[in-house]
Structure formats: structure tokens, C-alpha cells
Structure 1
Amino acid sequence: MSGSVEVRQFLLRHEGGDPVGGVPSQRSGQADAPRVSDDQVRRARLAVAAGAIDARDCAQLLEMLGLVPDEEGVNPVQR
């Protein structure tokens, strides 16, 4: 499934990030990791929805990418 890679590349292009070899670098730790903003989450959800085949595919992709809020209302991608 290349959807998550495409979403990362999409977000990097629109955030001005510079991927290394076409793949974003891994975060080294919580202290120096920039937080994912609410706007980034919103745009990532839109990108996933635009690339999904159907509602089920969209729901699965959102869950895999940590873009679905948990019981406390926090998106896993923003922890």
C-alpha cells in the first residue's frame, strides 16, 4: 500500500520539508520532534480521503496513519 508514502510526500511538498532520498527522515526523539499541528492533521485527512478507493479504504488508511482520534479525542499522530 503506497498511500501512506504518497501522503507523506504530499505533506512534505506542501510543508516545505526536504525528504532524504524521497523518504522523510525518522524522528530521533520526542524532545526535538516538531509537533504535528491540527492544520497538518486536517490536510492529511483530506489527502487520504482524496486518494482512497472508498469509505472503508479511507477509514483503514486514517487508522493506520494515526489520524483517527482516540477515546480522549487525541490523534495518535499528535502524541
Structure 2
Amino acid sequence: MYGSLDVRKFLGQQEEESMRSSGGVPAPRAGEPGRVSPEQVHRARLAVARSADNAEDCKLLLDMLGLTPDEDGEPPVAR
């Protein structure tokens, strides 16, 4: 358990340093700069769900952020 705490602390420090050196704004990834990957959509949905007060709040936030799938099953943010 002690080792995993050290790893999390180290990773947190690395992330902070990375954010400071890049000015706090992540650079576009290689490839199509405007595209959002399915993994990013999944992680965003999880973050919203963890932060929401209740199911209705979660649904509203997901919809506002374009993370709710449309008729084609694709979220607007991924288009």
C-alpha cells in the first residue's frame, strides 16, 4: 500500500509539472486535432457521473456537454 501511494504522488507531481510547462492548456494531439476519441468521451462521461449530485443532474450535464448519444448512437462531441 505504501508503494502505491508513492506512485500516485509521483504521477501527480509529473502532471503538475507538465501543466506548468505547457501553460496549463494541453496541446493538440497528432492526427486530426479537432477529433475526440471514444476513450476521451468515456473518461469525460465518468468524470461527469462522479461529480453529479444525482441522476437528473448527470443527465443534464452530459447533454449540455454533448456527451449524450444522438439517434445514430454517436455523441455530438465526437463528430
TM-score range, shorter chain: 0.5 to 0.7
Structure 1 or 2: more helix by fraction: 2
> Residue 37 of structure 1 aligns with which residue?
37
CA distance in 1, matches of 2:48, 2:55: 11
Ranges in structure 2 where 5+ consecutive residues have no aligned partner: 1-14, 27-31
Which segments of structure 1 move beyond 3 Å, counting only runs of 4 or more?
A: 16-20
Q: Percent identity?
A: 56
Tell me by how many angstroms 1:34 deviates.
Answer: 3.1
Number of residues of Structure 1 aligned to a counterpart in Structure 2: 57
TM-score (normalised: structure 1) = 0.60
Ranges in structure 1 where 5+ consecutive residues have no aligned partner: 1-12, 25-31
State the Cα RMSD in Å: 2.6
Q: Rg bigger for which structure?
A: 2
Q: 1:18-68: CA deviations, max 9, x gaps?
A: 534xxx7xxxxxxx6331000000000000000000000000000000000
